Amino acid sequence: TKGLVVYPGVIKKHIIEDNFFADRHRLMFKIKSGFRIKDLRINWTGKYQYSIFDPSEHNWNNVKSSNKIRNRFQLKYKDTSFKFYPYVYSEIFIPIDQYSRNFLKTEAYRLSGGIEYELIKDNILELFFVFENEFDAVNSQYFIYGLSYSYNF
C-alpha cells in the first residue's frame, strides 16, 4: 500500500447468539498504510467502528450500541512468481464509549493466520484461522476457521 488509504463501509450481519439469530449493523471508517521490504508486506489498519445490535428478537427497547477503535498489524509474504501468499495478523479492540467499563483499555484481541491463493488475476481463494479473546466476558474465546473467495475490481 502506498501512502494512506481511507475506506468508508457499512456491514449488516446475522450471528447466532443464545440459539437465535441476532442482527448486527456496523458503520466504519478505515485507514490503511504499509510498506514493502522485497516480498514482505507490512501493513497497519486503523478502524473506527460504530455498532448497533439487538440482543433480544427485534425489541427496540433493548438495542445497544458501541464505539470502538480497532488496530491491526499484518505481515504478508507476496512473491508474485508464486501464487500462494501466507499472512499473519494481530488486532486489538479498544472501546471509546465513556460509559464502558473498559473505556480506552484493550477489550479484546485477535490473532490470525492464513494463506491466499490467486486462482486467476483478481480472483482470490483464502483459507484462514482466527483466534479471538474478549476480556471480561463469559464466553470469551472464539475459534474461527474459514474459506473465502474474493474478486477485486
pLDDT tens track for 15-73? 555 555 566 677 888 889 999 999 999 999 999 988 877 655 555 556 677 889 999 99
Nearest Cα to 143, choosing from 116, 121, 117, 112? 112
Residue 54: per-residue pLDDT: 64
CA 51, distance to chain mean position in Å, is 13
Give φ, ψ of 117 to 5 degrees.
-130, 125
**Tens of pLDDT along 114-132?**
999 988 888 999 999 999 9
Q: Running DSSP on this structure, what letter comes out for residue 107?
A: -
pTM of the model: 0.75
> Which residues are 110's β-sheet partners?
91, 132
